[in-house]
Copies of this chain bind each other. A is one copy, B any other.
Amino acid sequence: MTDTALPPLALSLGDPAGIGPELIVQAWADRAAERLPAFFATGGAGLLAQAAAVHGLTVPVTRIDHPAEAPAVFASALPVLGDADAPYRPGEPNQAGARLALASLTEATRLAVDGQASGIVTGPIAKALLAQVGFVYPGQTEFVAAACGVTAGDAVMMLAGPQLRTVPITVHVALAEVPLLLTSDMIVRRGRIAAQALARDFGIAAPRLAFAGLNPHAGESGRMGSEEERIIAPALDALRAEGIDATGPHPADAMFTARARATYDLALCMYHDQALIPLKTLDFDAGVNVTLGLPIVRTSPDHGTAFAIAGQRVAEAGATIAAIRMAGEMAARRAHG
């Protein structure tokens, strides 16, 4: 693998009624200007061609039977693997579309696990619809983790934008549950996985991890909550004992100024909005969702299906392009060190 070109990236369609298809054709159209690595879509040849037409883009679509055909095709056409397809009905999600989304995700993941794709970039899905067609996972991250044989808790979601990287330690749970779920062990495991991934996948040899407190002002020495002293500080001690550069718990509100951001490589936050508010405030259109701790490379644009604007030439491909580029860079680092 060291001297040959990398396998192409596999892009799953996401829900075909969302903005996923139009983002794929836009990314392909911008491949040269954005210097994107070769990729192919898993399914959707017909609907991707229609999405391109709706967007006014000239995107020849070429069906391929094997990922290895993609790099040669990529310069002149968007390679699409396999026959799975559906009519293009932007803004009109249905179960047939959800089945295609699931098939596309399943195939892309399988190819990455097999090594035929150097990584996957997953398009946005509608979780409620997917559940109706038999998807039993809370989200794509958990699906991909299971396909890789990784415990869901050890697949760590990182959000990365041009100005900030964040990891939410707890993710899709009610705010009231956060203080009940948070443990030192969870913080240590996520911190360790994040540190390893920043070194292996992002080329940051000694990553600086900054941990937020849970409470206002990081609890002010126990005046407003004791989680900092009981749970977070011991976890940071344990990480430092492993040689990891871990600081905090920091008052969350002061962690995301330009000056503060310059002092760390990754902000680890205790709950979803603590991580996502600053990320989206700073980098709304370019946020990439990366799954750390997997044997395969997986990224995703950090936004939803946006059914309301699908097919209207409004959706911007910035996050998808950033996700493709990041997946390519991660794959290259893994392959070539």
Interface residues of A (CB under 8 A from B): 171-179, 214-217, 219, 224-227, 252-259, 271-274, 276-282, 284
Contact = CB atoms under 8 A, between A and B. Distances in A.
Given A171-B216, A172-B216, A281 B280 contact: no
B280 A277 contact: no
A93 to B, nearest CB: 16
Given A179-B176, A215-B174, A216-B173, A253 B276 contact: yes
A274 B214 CA distance: 12
A224 B173 CA distance: 5
Given A176-B179, A253-B276, A257-B280, 17 more contacts: A173-B224, A174-B224, A174-B225, A175-B175, A175-B179, A175-B215, A175-B225, A176-B225, A253-B277, A254-B280, A255-B277, A256-B280, A257-B284, A259-B284, A274-B277, A278-B278, A281-B281
B278 A281 contact: yes
Q: Taking chain A's interface residues, is the majority helix, strand, or loop, or is none over half, making it mixed?
A: helix
A221 to B, nearest CB: 9
B175 A214 contact: yes
B174 A175 contact: no
| From A172, A174, A175, residue with most partner B Cβ within 10 Å | A175
| From A173, A177, A271, A281, residue with most partner B Cβ within 10 Å | A281
Contact of A274 (B219, B225, B254, B273): B273
| From A176, A225, A227, residue with most partner B Cβ within 10 Å | A176
A295 to B, nearest CB: 28
A120 to B, nearest CB: 24
A115 to B, nearest CB: 35
Nearest to A214: B175
A277 B257 contact: no
B252 A174 contact: no
A279 B278 CA distance: 10
28 contacts: A171-B216, A172-B217, A172-B224, A173-B216, A174-B179, A174-B215, A174-B227, A175-B175, A175-B178, A175-B179, A175-B216, A176-B176, A176-B225, A176-B227, A216-B276, A252-B273, A253-B276, A253-B279, A253-B280, A254-B280, A256-B277, A256-B280, A257-B280, A257-B281, A259-B284, A273-B274, A277-B277, A278-B281
